[in-house]
Homo-oligomer: A and B are copies of this chain.
Amino acid sequence: MKKIKAIGVLTSGGDAPGMNAAIRAVVRTAITNGIRVYGIKRGYNGLYHGDMFEMNLRSVSDIINRGGTILYTARSKEFNSPEGVLKAKEQCEKAGLDAIVCIGGDGTFRGALDLSRVGVPCVGIPGTIDNDIGCSEYTIGYDTAMNTAMEMIDKIRDTAQSHDRCSVIEVMGRRAGYIAVNTGIACGASAICIPEHPFSLEKDFLEKVRANQKTGKRHFIVLVAEGVGGVQQMAEEIEAKTGIETRATILGHVQRGGAPSLRDRVVASQMGYHAVKLLLDGKGGRIVAMQSEKIIDLDIEEALATKKTLDPALIDMNDEISI
């Protein structure tokens, strides 16, 4: 890889709190080390269209505490083709970009792989609230999203408790139950329903309700991951079978936004910093990740092939203590 003089940075896929902290770290680390940085707007879409601007130290002032992404994000149909990737490469050459830092999820990393293969070195940073990146224990936005969901459920709990109700609550997580499991534990949910595990309403919840009612428990929370869905139907079934007034709530997009938590800011800063250090060391085609709380990096293909599994012990634990 040739010596880097200028890089681009983009965010792609769904926005996640902490993306701005990562952008800030990328921009500042680059400039501190004598590299110019261009902000590419709306992900690969902006790269394809050459929609970018040079950033300086002040371009990223006072954004570490802001949700969303100042570089915007979007899907790009045009980029998703061999011609699109070559067009993007041309735009890099035109602007003098020697490498790109791409912040987002698996789709973002596949774009980074495509670009790396045609000769534009890329480094990917995992940014998605769902924590569904196989190679990394942690993804930027995950902690904030869970805390936001938790705070909302804490509020629902007040009403559930005052009315002796059951609340069936859908949290984010299309393919993965990480948010649901951890939020469920943190909110004392009686049952947690995720894509990775089978769920029997009778065995995993109704039996528990009957047992818990004998000890005086009168309000209940069931957490359901987006990837399972069906909360309205489940609420009706619970009310029909138990006689407990039951309400369904979909927490929705609120979980994506808001000021990032400390953990998201710190990890995003570390990952953005690490990404640029890799490029300074002449390493492209890498994904930054967290393993055992350490920031490491992997080859993109290896990263995309890595799987992780949710620890079922967490659900077993919840079954013993949320009673």
Contact = CB atoms under 8 A, between A and B. Distances in A.
Interface of A: 11, 14-15, 17, 24-25, 28-29, 32-33, 42, 56-58, 61-62, 64-69, 72-74, 137, 143, 146-148, 150-152, 154-159, 161-164, 167, 182-183, 185-188, 212, 215-217, 247, 249-259, 261-263, 265-266, 269-270, 272-273, 292-293, 314, 317-318, 320-323
Given A185-B265, A250-B250, A269-B317, A217 B159 contact: no
Contacts of A250: 250, 252
A120 to B, nearest CB: 24
Nearest to A31: B323
A271 to B, nearest CB: 11
Q: Which 5 A-B pairs have the closest CB atoms?
A: A155-B257, A158-B257, A67-B158, A68-B158, A292-B292
Contact of A74 (B155, B164, B269): B164
Contacts of A15: 158-159, 162-163
A263 B266 contact: no
B320 A188 contact: no
Given A32-B320, A65-B154, A273-B317, 19 more contacts: A15-B162, A57-B323, A58-B215, A61-B217, A62-B157, A65-B157, A68-B161, A68-B162, A72-B164, A73-B162, A148-B155, A154-B258, A155-B258, A156-B257, A158-B258, A183-B262, A185-B265, A249-B252, A270-B317
Given A163-B74, A321-B29, A254 B152 contact: yes
Copies held by the complex: 4
A159 B265 contact: no
Contact of A163 (B29, B72, B272, B321): B72
A42 to B, nearest CB: 8
A45 B58 CA distance: 24
Contacts of A148: 155
A143 B262 contact: yes
Contacts of A67: 155, 158-159
Given A28-B321, A217-B58, A323-B32, A158 B66 contact: yes
A155 B256 contact: yes
19 contacts: A11-B162, A32-B320, A33-B320, A42-B164, A57-B216, A58-B215, A65-B157, A68-B158, A69-B162, A73-B162, A147-B261, A148-B155, A154-B258, A156-B253, A186-B266, A247-B253, A249-B252, A249-B253, A273-B317
